[in-house]
């Protein structure tokens, strides 16, 4: 290990040289309170920034053990430190020359508390993984500015964000305890027979479609008395709110009254949220999956026969393949793929659904005979999903009262206030008896596992054996193929997408033609649980965030070269 003095000497020696001279910095340096390691050195000021790790001994950082003594607290602590480091780095770093010169940055968190690789905390040390833009004038080393960054700005940021004594103790513990309570609440759902919970006082609306912060002056949520549940949390104590039981739940109401807003909050209830977000105690089952139509997506060997049979020209739906799915076939495939990897709660909004997939009314049944209609609408399958498979559904519906016949409960949103109108809906269903004929048969049908074929995965590009990268939140470049994740609505961070891209490569080692897609995905998640997100990369990275099996599976399913065969054992 070299000293900080050695670092100064190297900087003096390479000043004014070509930018690649920065490669001499590679290695680890001992500062007074911490070590600084250069893991990668950018080749050009316009290339991706260099990566460094800053490690403090636990004795110096002095974080009490009760801030990370269980997994929930550890994730929240690391998330909090990342947020503080980000704020301090943003306020201190400044542009110094060409390209990314002068950048000091760490993975940027949003409203959700995610498990990230940006900060490591254990019994031995605290480590921050940071990106820095080594300064250049044109394409030459500027050691003067580099020295300011490495010997003045970074030490100040370290002192302000990685030492327990420098942090706001009350704010830190509120962050940790809020996250721990949300985890406890989510774990309690199953025992209470619930699939989701929305706390009284929650503020569900967001500022805009591109700003996930809470809307100021939003109407606070209040549970209907009939659905009110009280739960005792380990830190906050008693909390009351609306419990949505397992089964089939409808969310109805007029346009712009909050139906989709409530569903969106439940959709993101798979994540914990920061204090002040308004959705801190809105939680849903971890196996909750948002389903929508996705015209044009590729589908590979999916058994969609529970919903669609007897396509024209004898095309099979038992092992359905297409390069250009319709609205109805894509929605059917999305449901079956979600069930294949273990979904327990499906969320559906009629606004993003195929109409002919959701309902076929009496008049249309009279005009088009069942033998001429391959689609069995969701209204005729949703109860079978629950009674036969134990999979619940929450559906936003505003255009079809036929769903009243199959619903366990109906929640009406009126000016963002929730009202239990189940009894009224059932009375209406009884008064106006349905004339349509159920078309779903006696059981839901089978869920057929698939065996992914490794030879259909090619992450190479040009001379590189592996070339994969995320392109923002909703795209992955896998070799030469671009994967579109725009319909995978429960991704919230580009760092998740980045991790998924590398997890797809990691998953290939388990694709032996005998393991199912679920088994492959579960093995990847097991590796991450055992070894951390670092298992996805040969070098430590600070820009990963944890994802669920459902999103990894969704990415694999949307790779256009993906091939699989069904497991008919």
Q: Verify that 116 and 155 share a domain, yes or no.
A: yes
Q: Verify that 395 and 513 share a domain, yes or no.
A: no
Q: Which of 149, 167, 185 is the last residue of a domain?
A: 167
Residue 251 lies in a domain: no
Is residue 449 scored above 70 in pLDDT?
Answer: yes
> Within 10 A of 334 (CB to CB), how many other CB atoms are there?
27
Mean pLDDT of the 328-349 span: 98
Q: Measured between alpha carbons, how far is 253 from 399 in angstroms, rounded to an integer?
A: 10
Is residue 568 scored above 80 in pLDDT?
Answer: no
248 pLDDT band, cuts 50/70/90, is very high
Q: Which of 104, 133, 167 is the last residue of a domain?
A: 167
Q: What is the pLDDT of residue 467?
A: 92
Mean pLDDT of the 186-196 span: 97
> Within 10 A of 457 (CB to CB), how many other CB atoms are there?
21
Q: Verify that 487 and 397 share a domain, yes or no.
A: no
Residue 175 lies in a domain: no
Q: Measured between alpha carbons, how far is 351 from 348 in angstroms, rounded to an integer?
A: 9
569 pLDDT band, cuts 50/70/90, is low
> Within 10 A of 90 (CB to CB), how many other CB atoms are there?
13
Is residue 434 scored above 80 in pLDDT?
Answer: no
Q: Which domain holds residue 65?
A: 2-167
Is residue 250 scored above 90 in pLDDT?
Answer: yes
What ranges in 201-299 are assigned the alpha helix state H?
Answer: 259-267
Q: What is the pLDDT of residue 94?
A: 86
Terminal alpha carbon distance of the chain: 56
CATH code for position 316: 3.40.50
Which residue pairs, CB below 8 angstroms and at least 24 apart, start in 161-164?
Answer: 161/81, 161/84, 161/85, 161/88, 161/128, 162/34, 162/54, 162/56, 162/61, 162/81, 162/85, 162/126, 162/128, 163/56, 163/60, 163/61, 163/62, 164/61, 164/62, 164/63, 164/64, 164/67
Residue 143 to residues 17, 20, 91, 106, 129, Cα–Cα distance (Å)? 10, 13, 22, 22, 22
Per the structure, the count of domains in the chain is: 3
Q: Which of 151, 167, 183 is the last residue of a domain?
A: 167
Q: Please report, rounded to a whole number, the percentage of residues in the chain having pLDDT higher than 90.
A: 88
Q: Are 343 and 550 in contact (CB under 8 A)?
A: yes
Q: Verify that 427 and 457 share a domain, yes or no.
A: no
pLDDT single digits (tens) 481-519? 999 999 999 999 999 999 999 999 999 999 999 999 999
Q: Verify that 327 and 390 share a domain, yes or no.
A: yes
* The pair of three-digit structure tokens given for residue 40, joined into one six-digit string: 């990668």
Residue 306 lies in a domain: yes
Residue 144 lies in a domain: yes
Q: Measured between alpha carbons, how far is 431 from 474 in angstroms, rounded to an integer?
A: 46
Mapping DSSP to helix (H, G, I), strand (E, B) and coil, where does residue 327 land?
Answer: helix
355 pLDDT band, cuts 50/70/90, is very high
Q: Verify that 425 and 454 share a domain, yes or no.
A: no
Q: Are 402 and 379 in contact (CB under 8 A)?
A: yes
Residue 221 lies in a domain: no
Q: Verify that 420 and 504 share a domain, yes or no.
A: no
Q: Verify that 151 and 297 share a domain, yes or no.
A: no
pLDDT single digits (tens) 362-401? 888 889 988 888 999 999 999 999 999 999 999 999 988 8
Q: Are 230 and 238 in contact (CB under 8 A)?
A: yes
Q: Which stretches does DSSP call E strand in 194-281?
A: 194-199, 206-208, 211-214, 228-233, 237-245, 248-252, 272-273
For 221-233, b where at least 16 C-beta lie within 10 A, e where not — what string? bbbbeebebebeb
Q: Verify that 63 and 143 share a domain, yes or no.
A: yes
Residue 239 lies in a domain: no
Q: Which stretches does DSSP call E strand in 335-398?
A: 345-349, 392-396
Mean pLDDT of the 340-366 span: 94
pLDDT single digits (tens) 77-130? 999 999 999 999 999 888 888 889 999 999 999 999 999 999 999 999 999 999
Residue 475 lies in a domain: yes
Q: Verify that 64 and 114 share a domain, yes or no.
A: yes
Q: What is the pLDDT of residue 93?
A: 87
Q: DSSP string of 471-492?
A: -SSSEEEETTEEEE-TT-TT--
Output the average pLDDT for the chain. 95
Name the nearest CA neighbour of 346 among 288, 404, 411: 288
Residue 222 lies in a domain: no
Q: Verify that 458 and 343 share a domain, yes or no.
A: no
Q: Verify that 477 and 346 share a domain, yes or no.
A: no
* Total number of residues shown for the chain: 569
């Amino acid at each position: 290990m070299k000293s900080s003095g050695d670092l100064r000497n190297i900087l003096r020696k390479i000043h004014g040289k070509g930018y690649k001279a920065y490669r001499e910095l590679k290695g680890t340096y001992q500062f007074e309170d911490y070590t600084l390691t250069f893991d990668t050195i950018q080749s050009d000021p316009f290339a991706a920034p260099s990566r460094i790790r800053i490690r403090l001994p636990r004795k110096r950082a002095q974080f009490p053990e009760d801030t990370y003594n269980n997994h929930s607290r550890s994730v929240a602590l690391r998330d909090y430190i990342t947020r503080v480091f980000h704020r301090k780095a943003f306020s201190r770093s400044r542009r110094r020359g060409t390209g990314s010169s002068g950048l000091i940055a760490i993975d940027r968190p949003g409203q959700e508390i995610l498990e990230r690789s940006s900060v490591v905390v254990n019994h031995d040390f605290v480590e921050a993984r940071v990106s820095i833009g080594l300064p250049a004038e044109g394409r030459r080393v500027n050691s003067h500015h580099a020295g300011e960054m490495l010997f003045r700005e970074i030490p100040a940021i370290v002192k302000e964000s990685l030492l327990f004594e420098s942090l706001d103790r009350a704010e830190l513990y509120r962050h940790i305890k809020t996250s721990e309570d949300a985890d406890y609440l989510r774990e309690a759902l199953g025992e209470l027979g619930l699939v989701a919970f929305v706390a009284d006082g929650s503020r569900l609306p967001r500022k805009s479609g591109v700003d996930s912060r809470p809307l100021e002056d939003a109407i606070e949520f209040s549970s209907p008395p009939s659905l009110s549940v009280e739960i005792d949390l380990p830190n906050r104590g008693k909390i009351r709110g609306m419990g949505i039981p397992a089964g089939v739940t409808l969310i109805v109401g007029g346009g712009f009254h909050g139906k989709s807003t409530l569903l969106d909050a439940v959709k993101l209830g798979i994540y914990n949220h920061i204090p002040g977000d308004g959705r801190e105690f809105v939680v849903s089952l971890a196996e909750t999956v948002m389903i929508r139509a996705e015209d044009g997506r590729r589908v590979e060997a999916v058994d969609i026969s529970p919903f669609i049979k007897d396509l024209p020209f004898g095309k099979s739906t038992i092992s359905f393949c297409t390069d250009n799915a319709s609205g109805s076939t894509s929605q059917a495939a999305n449901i079956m793929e979600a069930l294949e990897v273990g979904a327990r709660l499906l969320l559906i909004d009629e606004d993003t659904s195929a109409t002919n997939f959701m309902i076929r009314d009496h008049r249309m049944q009279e005009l088009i005979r069942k033998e001429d209609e391959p689609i069995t609408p969701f209204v005729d399958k949703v109860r079978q999903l629950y009674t036969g498979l134990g999979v619940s559904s929450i559906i936003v519906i505003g255009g079809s009262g036929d769903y009243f016949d199959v619903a366990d409960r109906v929640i009406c949103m009126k000016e963002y206030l929730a009202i239990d109108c189940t009894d009224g809906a059932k009375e209406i269903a009884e008064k106006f008896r349905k004339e349509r004929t159920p078309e779903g048969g006696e059981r839901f049908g089978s869920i057929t596992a698939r065996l992914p074929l490794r030879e259909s995965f090619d992450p190479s590009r040009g001379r590189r054996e592996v070339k994969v990268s995320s392109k923002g939140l909703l795209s992955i470049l896998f070799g030469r193929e671009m994967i579109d994740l725009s319909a995978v609505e429960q991704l919230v961070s580009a760092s998740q997408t980045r991790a998924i891209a590398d997890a797809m490569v990691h998953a290939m080692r388990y694709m032996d033609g005998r393991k199912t897609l679920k088994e492959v995905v579960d093995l990847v998640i097991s590796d991450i649980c055992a070894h951390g997100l670092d298992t996805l990369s040969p070098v430590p990275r600070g820009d990963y965030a944890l994802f669920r099996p459902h999103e990894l599976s969704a990415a694999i399913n949307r790779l256009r070269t993906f091939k699989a065969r069904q497991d008919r054992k």
